[in-house]
Chain A
Amino acid sequence: MTSAARPLTRQRPMSERIIEVLLFLAAALGVLTTAGIILVLAYQTLEFFAVVSPVEFFTGTKWSAGIKPYAWGVLPLVSGTILVAAIAMIVAIPLGLLSAVLLSDYASSRTRNFVKPLLETIAGIPTIVLGFFAINFLAPQVLVPIIGKGNIGTFSALSGGIVVGLLVTPLIASISDDSMRAVPRGMREGAYAMGATKFEVIRKVVVPAALSGIMASIILAASRAIGETMIVSLAVGDKPQLTFDPTESVQTMTAFIAQIAIGETAQGSIQFKSLFAVAATLFVFTLVLNLLSAWVVRRYRTAY
């Protein structure tokens, strides 16, 4: 009883302050993680650049980490990554935006409550499963019969890119749907009152008003596609080459990192160090895209 009678204000501040510090430490862990990533990548990349010149790394057009003579030009890996991501976006942008329009402006709430979770299921499938789908179903049973046996094999940028596209489509659909639904009813009704058809309302009112969210979703999806590892490790192959032919087998930055990590590469070797330089390049790519997406939202957001 005596403890309850004590003035509360004198007893609590100490424990309150300890709790606040603990909470702050948890929140600051994220900053530590970022700092850790940057430090590790920077330190190891500098070690790699002590052996291989940055000029060769950034401008070289041949990458050979396994077979002598070694070559350390990162451009083939970058082109492979961009090729796969571009194919993914060609698949994901129309599929994602059309699905988003269907969800936000055509579907009844019953259809919506059925379709949206199904789309998000695709995003929740482990990516290794999607990779399996690419090499066991998409490539042999769809792409090879269509394109021809001599023209495309089991491993190609096309099959990996299409499946990565399927993976990121729900991301575009979900965010774009949210931002199109945030466009006020009054704006749609105003357009209808002017005699516009439903399609015209969507094209000239809803989409322009939701453009910042739509753009942000597309950039985020591109960033996801560039960082995706398991699908490309299985489906795209392991041939680093500077090509933009989608039927070719290429190698992406992520797939190279995985390949070195799986193999019996000694940890001090030049191959293992090159892994960090490639990872740093990948990190910069995705960071730029993520910052760009945040900037687009801030710059072009229209509040209603």
Chain B
Amino acid sequence: MSATTTPAATPAVRFEPALMRRKLTGTIFYGLCVMAVGILLIALVMLLLDVLTRGLPWLDWGFLTGVPSRRPENAGVLPALVGSLQVGIIVGVITFPVGVAAAIYMTEYARDSWVNRILQTNISNLAGVPSIIYGILGLAVFVRLLNFGSTILSAGLTLTLLILPVVIIASIEAIRAVPNAQREGAYALGATRWQMVRGSVLPAAAPGIMTGIVLAMARAIGEAAPLILIGAFAFVTFLPNPLTGSYTVLPIQIFDWARRPQDDFAGIAAAAIIVILVLMLVLNALALILRWRLSRHIQW
């Protein structure tokens, strides 16, 4: 491969100048790529190991069914767990109709006019607004203006606004993926626009839409920042009523415990983290199952 002085070899040298070096650069680069993914996966594994070793000793039936306490050994997460589930249900129940309706309007009804362009741009901008800003909006509108107070209802409505853009974007993608033949078939049978949407588009887009909604619920349950402003930061030793009284949710409870310097509180924070991660896993599994069940009948 080395350069020779014989004229016959000259073209070969021209075609592979420093090929070994170029290939070596490529190999080094490939190594860097593998390293990057490796670092990320190691970080993920270290995080899980750290949380599990700290949290598992604290995780028992008493922890799941108990209420917060000034002493870590007596503390439990039941009010926070119930609060998170209630918030998740409110978010899911409102997001489903509103998010899907908005996505249907933007894909099937709106003509390509300036109104539609504003709606689209606005949704993608909303998806980029920091979550804590939604907390400020929720504080002004739900807690004060509508006078719902610092309750699970206000928290659920605030988080609904937060995840609606995400749900709408996911639903729009799912609806756009439905082939046009489905729509034309419905029209050919004499369907009106709404009948076409309900009978042809929605069933076909359902797997994508439902997956998006369940994943968005998971995101809402893991979100803490806006709820700090909605007054979730409370010492709650009872099961919350969604419409009245103070409440707490899992991420806020974790925040409260994690901020304390004592090691034992880090332990129960880790135990609560295990609870919330399991909850996330369950929701993700649910999303997979929903996708599978709803798409069984679709074939094109």
User: Nearest Cβ in chain B — how far from A137, in angstroms?
Assistant: 5
Q: Which of B47, B104, B125, B255 has a CB less than 8 Å from the CB of A233? A: B255
User: Of all chain A residues, which has the CB nearest B35?
Assistant: A98
User: Of all chain A residues, which has the CB nearest B49?
Assistant: A137
**Number of A positions contacting B (CB below 8 A):** 84
- The answer, yes or no, to whether B34 is at the interface (CB within 8 Å) is yes
Task: Bits for B268-280, please: 1 = Cβ < 8 Å to A, else 0.
Answer: 0110010011001
- Determine the chain A residues whose CB is within 8 A of the CB of B258 once the complex forms: 128, 131-132, 135-136, 234
Segment at the interface with B among A72-80, A143-151, A194-202, A239-247: A194-202
- The answer, yes or no, to whether B289 is at the interface (CB within 8 Å) is no
Task: Bits for B159-185, please: 1 = Cβ < 8 Å to A, else 0.
Answer: 001001100100000000000000000
- Determine the chain A residues whose CB is within 8 A of the CB of B37 once the complex forms: 98-99, 102, 115, 119
User: Nearest Cβ in chain B — how far from A225, in angstroms?
Assistant: 10
Interface residues of A in 114-141 (CB under 8 A from B): 115, 118-119, 121-122, 124-133, 135-137
Interface size grouping (class) on chain B = 35 or more
Interface residues of A in 60-75 (CB under 8 A from B): none
Q: Which of A115, A135, A197 has a CB less than 8 Å from the CB of B22? A: A197
- Determine the chain A residues whose CB is within 8 A of the CB of B33 once the complex forms: 98-99, 101-102, 106
A126→B222 contact, CB < 8 A: yes
- A interface residue numbers (CB < 8 A to B): 8, 12, 15-16, 19-20, 22-24, 26-31, 33-34, 36-37, 40-41, 44, 94-96, 98-99, 101-102, 106, 115, 118-119, 121-122, 124-133, 135-137, 166, 169-170, 195, 197-200, 202, 220, 223-224, 226-230, 233-234, 254, 257-258, 261-262, 275-276, 279, 282-283, 286-287, 289-291, 293-294
Task: Give 24 pairs: A residue, B residue, CB < 8 Å, sorted on A.
Answer: A28-B119, A31-B119, A34-B126, A99-B36, A118-B41, A126-B254, A127-B225, A128-B222, A128-B254, A128-B255, A129-B51, A137-B46, A199-B25, A200-B26, A227-B129, A229-B224, A229-B225, A230-B224, A262-B228, A262-B233, A276-B136, A279-B132, A286-B129, A294-B121
- B interface residue numbers (CB < 8 A to A): 15-16, 19, 22-23, 25-26, 29-30, 32-37, 39-41, 43-44, 46-47, 50-51, 54, 97-99, 101-102, 104-106, 109-110, 118-119, 121-126, 128-137, 140-141, 161, 164-165, 168, 190, 192-194, 215, 218-219, 221-225, 228-229, 233, 251, 254-255, 258-259, 266, 269-270, 273, 276-277, 280, 284
